Amino acid sequence: MRLARHVYEKRGYLAGDDRSRLKDLHDMFQDKEIKAIFCTRGGYGAMRLLDDIEYEMIKENPKIFAGYSDITALLLGILEKTGLVTFHGPMVRGLASKNQGNFESLLNVISSNEPLKLSFQEGTTVAAGKADGKLIGGNLSMLCHLVGTPYLPSLEGCILFVEEKGEALYRLDRMLNHLRLSGQLKGLSAFVAGGFEECGDREAIKDLLGDVLSGLEIPMAIGLPLGHGLQNVALPIGLPAELDADSKTLSLLETAIT
């Protein structure tokens, strides 16, 4: 294990200045001995790095790169600019949590020789059906803030997954409608919502999704255990998958191993 040089630095609400954080990211990708990069925590200010990342260097030095929350900006930016699969999943800060299955799920996704199938039977079907497509997603507010930038991959034909924490219902309404009005949701294959921690009543969130997204006429489900909750299963962003909203299963159609 190797810690980035500036991992303990602070600058206001940021984990150090932009130059130091960017150098750590580049150094980790350039180091031939490093096979996987796990973000320490959620990453306020991650979007500040997007314009200065050396994407061609990252493409020439592919590695496992994992995180969630604001790290969504880096996960999607790297996928869009390099075509490399990235991983939405637990970070180092969460390894001390009571649910050690989170890190095990990440190891399983990045090392399995067989496509995986995730079942979320405690979830809820919002719109019945089954569909496949490339798996794209992450934190809802970060997805919204990437609209209009060159770092958001096309969602055409994709299964979109989202998660969020601490946003009131009216803010979720605003964000979902922003994605809809911007045209990003046209042509989606399917939609699955993960955890909405501290966002209010789950039934109200389900009703909101049904109201805002009903016109898409695609399979939709809520309750996939990912994101800011106690359980945070890992998902490979950029791999093909199938959502069965009726049986509440998400199946990867390929492995992350190449």
Contact residues for 75 (Cβ-Cβ < 8 A; gap 6+): 65, 67, 68, 86, 87, 88, 138, 237
Cα distance between residue 146 and residue 163, in whole Å:
15
Supply the residues annotated as catalytic. Answer: 69, 163, 228
Cα distance between residue 142 and residue 94, in whole Å:
20
CATH classification for the domain delimited by 117-252, as one of 1.10.10.10, 2.30.110.10, 3.50.30.60, 3.90.980.10: 3.50.30.60
Which band of pLDDT confidence, cut at 50, 70 and 90, is reported for residue 14? low
pLDDT score for 94: 66
Residue 95 pLDDT greater than 70, yes or no: no
Residue 137 pLDDT greater than 90, yes or no: yes
Domains 18-111 and 117-252 share a fold: no
* CATH superfamily, with its number, for domain 18-111: Murein tetrapeptidase LD-carboxypeptidase, N-terminal domain (3.40.50.10740)
27-34: which pairs have CB atoms within 8 A and are 24 or more residues apart? Answer: 28/2, 28/4, 28/63, 29/57, 29/58, 29/61, 29/63, 30/57, 30/61, 31/2, 32/61, 33/2, 34/2, 34/63
Cα distance between residue 206 and residue 114, in whole Å:
32
Residue-range domain boundaries for the chain: 18-111, 117-252
Nearest to 48 by CA among 164, 149, 167, 177: 149
Radius of gyration in angstroms for the set of CA atoms belonging to the chain, rounded to a whole number = 17
Which band of pLDDT confidence, cut at 50, 70 and 90, is reported for residue 106? confident
Residue 97 pLDDT greater than 70, yes or no: no
DSSP-derived 3-state class of residue 3: coil
Backbone angles phi, psi at 203, to 5 degrees: -65, -35
pLDDT tens readout for residues 177-230: 999 999 999 999 999 999 898 998 889 999 999 999 989 999 999 999 998 877
Query: Model pTM greater than 0.85?
Result: yes
